[in-house]
Structure 1
Amino acid sequence: MGRLEVFGVAAGDPDPRAQRRLIDAARRGELLRLTPGRYVVRAVFATATEHERHRARIDAVMPWTSGDLIVSHHSAVVLHDLPWLGETPELVAVLDPKRRNGQRRAHLQKVGAAERIVEPVHIGGYAVTPLTVTAVDVALREPFRTAIVVLDAVLARGVSKDELLAELARRTPRPRASSRARRAIEFADGLAGSPGESVARLRWAEEGFPPPALQREFRDAEGLIGRVDFWFAEAGVVVEFDGLVKYRDREMRGGRTPERVVMDEKLREDRLRAVPEIRTVVRVTWRDVEPGGSAPARLERAGIARLS
């Protein structure tokens, strides 16, 4: 995750011209004000990722807060470099150990934590809720899909479901929130390879399809073909989620051109189709797995029966 540089004038700076230069640059449209006295280069911010933008907001807000606040919820997700669905909220989220109830400020969302004991980790100079606490916070507050994406990623980093359930048991949330969080933890799977795969797996379950095996290895006479995203063994169907990142991201291409990646994917798929136990390969995208998308119908056409 990159880090946008946040500009500002230190408190007590004797040169009033420094602040004036920043204000003038903002008026010319060169800088974007995140908080009073804290700016980023507008053009850089415009091309930054959601995580990079929110990290800049954290850098603009946190140095001016009291030292006992702990970065939490979606802001902790960003600092841990965990995935998130959609736009990241603009307000920086923190736990406030001095408050029982939450408080919303201009750029800060405080969550009351007077009755909680949280041992933070430190990332980039900030106290942050650890992975287990962050995941449960998200599971209790965010939509189910978002929770699954975060929980899958946390499990992939080595946190166990038992640790997550133990953290949930230490809380006293409303019964409905607790039940939903427990269901999310139980459904989560650290083998999911991307947010798209997490959302796709949830969509299959919501539509009544049997749970697929994740990251199943297939081999032929030449050796390892690869791991597939979803394997519906009873139907003999492989489903691959195509998030397009593999074609656009230079690091994921491993020095190959997008055209070479497409060709390699075609050759890989041909090898998969030649495996006797595989009847067919289905490729889906974000549009297919979103509500109203064609993925359920395509799975049925491929021969995957819904559970009765």
Structure 2
Amino acid sequence: MPKSIDLPAARALILTRAQLRARGHTERDIERRVSDGTLRRVRNDRYVTADAWEGLWNEGRHLVEVVATHLNSAAPGPVFWGPSSAVLHGLPLYRMAPKNVHAAILGTRHGRTLAGVAWHGVPVDSADIVEIDGIRCTSLERTVLDLACTSPSAVSLSAADAALRSAAVTGHVQHPEIAEDWKERMLARAERPRRPGIRNARRTIQLADGRAQLPGESVSRLHLINLGYAVPDLQVHVVGSAGQDYWLDFGFRRSRCFGEFDGEGKYLDDDMRGVRTAEEVVLAEKRREDDIRGVTGWRTVRWGSADIRTAQSFATKLVSFGIRPPG
């Protein structure tokens, strides 16, 4: 199953020709491996094995491309922008697979694409340039705003939720004052200067909620709103029969039903499962649902990534369980 990686892990995956030769590969062997697809050339003299590449989510692949671009650049390196800055900050890019690395051109307004790098002629204040492990990019808030202006709503809301979560959420609880301050600050940013996409950006900021723990939860909430459902309760706390603390992704009060977005990782990812088998995880989830139903009288509906590919497919799933607007 694909996995996510951080910046040090991305660095570790990238190999140069010298490193490959040190491992016993000849120049001819390197070219043969690139030709047969067992070695992927990410940038000039930067390679990743096909197995490592295939084992990454889109975010991880793009992070590798960003790091490789930085390694091939003269100091101090580009200021990565938009989706390329997002992966450096650890933000999700819901189903987005950027075709190019994105960077800001400082001091000019003429954009261009060269050698797989899209250079954007956008103004970036020096206060909005940060370094992450020696790599320059736009600040977290500026990155969220840029994505909100230029990306589909599913991408931008997932990223905004993640950014707000890092600022205002402890465990499952969002601190209202901190969240409100964050939104006010972001909305103020959205007013200066005015730019294309700013109306969508304001809507994204207003809808952001850090209690969404996965992009699938963010997209589910976006679909619910677009379909005319009332905004459901998020991260609903239920105390089990033996005092256990349960947290449910969504609560539909009118339908007396909880909703849970199930990412595949819960069952298939070794790191998330720990020592448990997939079967043991399924049984534990069933016991949890039985206990929740016993103490609340509410049932639980589950859905996955395939169910939220479109708003209509999600609506079909919900209606099949009797959950209709306003929910």
TM category, shorter? 0.7 to 0.9
Structure 1 CA distance, aligned partners of 2:83 and 2:292? 39
Residue 252 of structure 1 deviates from its aligned partner by 1.6
Q: Call closer, same or farther: CA 1:294–1:103 in 2, change over 3 Å.
A: closer
Report SS of the residue matched to 2:188.
Answer: helix
Residue 191 of structure 1 deviates from its aligned partner by 0.5
User: In structure 1, what is the equivalent of residue 325 of structure 2?
Assistant: 306
User: In structure 2, what is the equivalent of residue 83 of structure 1?
Assistant: 92
Q: Does 1:182 align with 2:202?
A: yes
- 8 Å CA contact 1:237, 1:302 repeated in 2: no
Q: Call closer, same or farther: CA 1:155–1:115 in 2, change over 3 Å.
A: closer
One-letter amino acid of the counterpart of residue 113, structure 2: R
Give the % identical residues. Answer: 30
Give the total of aligned pairs: 299
TM-score by length of 2: 0.83
Q: Call closer, same or farther: CA 1:258–1:172 in 2, change over 3 Å.
A: same
Correspondence 1:9-20 to 2 at 5 A: none
Q: Does 1:124 align with 2:133?
A: yes
Report SS of the residue matched to 1:255.
Answer: coil
- 8 Å CA contact 1:225, 1:268 repeated in 2: no
Residue 139 of structure 1 deviates from its aligned partner by 0.3
Report SS of the residue matched to 2:64.
Answer: helix
- 8 Å CA contact 1:61, 1:107 repeated in 2: no
Residue 57 of structure 1 deviates from its aligned partner by 1.3
Correspondence 1:279-294 to 2 at 5 A: 279-291=298-310, 294=313
1:214-267 deviation digits (Å, cap 9, x = unpaired): 001001331124100000123311111112211111222232111111000000
Report SS of the residue matched to 1:230.
Answer: strand
Report SS of the residue matched to 1:228.
Answer: strand
User: In structure 2, what is the equivalent of residue 33 of structure 1?
Assistant: 41
1:247-296 deviation digits (Å, cap 9, x = unpaired): 111222232111111000000000111124x4322111122222265432
Q: Does 1:112 align with 2:121?
A: yes
User: In structure 2, what is the equivalent of residue 152 of structure 1?
Assistant: 161
Alignment match of 1:296 (pick from 312, 315, 319): 315
Q: Does 1:138 align with 2:147?
A: yes
Structure 1 CA distance, aligned partners of 2:13 and 2:314? 41
Structure 2 CA distance, aligned partners of 1:275 and 1:298? 25
- 8 Å CA contact 2:223, 2:311 repeated in 1: no
User: In structure 1, what is the equivalent of residue 80 of structure 2?
Assistant: 71
Structure 2 CA distance, aligned partners of 1:56 and 1:220? 43
Structure 2 CA distance, aligned partners of 1:29 and 1:232? 48
Runs of 4+ with deviation above 6 angstroms? 17-21
Structure 2 CA distance, aligned partners of 1:199 and 1:44? 28
1:175-196 deviation digits (Å, cap 9, x = unpaired): xx11111011101111112111
Question: Structure 2: where are the runs of 5+ without partners?
Answer: 19-24, 169-181
TM-score by length of 1: 0.87
Structure 2 CA distance, aligned partners of 1:115 and 1:6? 29
Residue 19 of structure 1 deviates from its aligned partner by 6.4
RMSD: 2.5
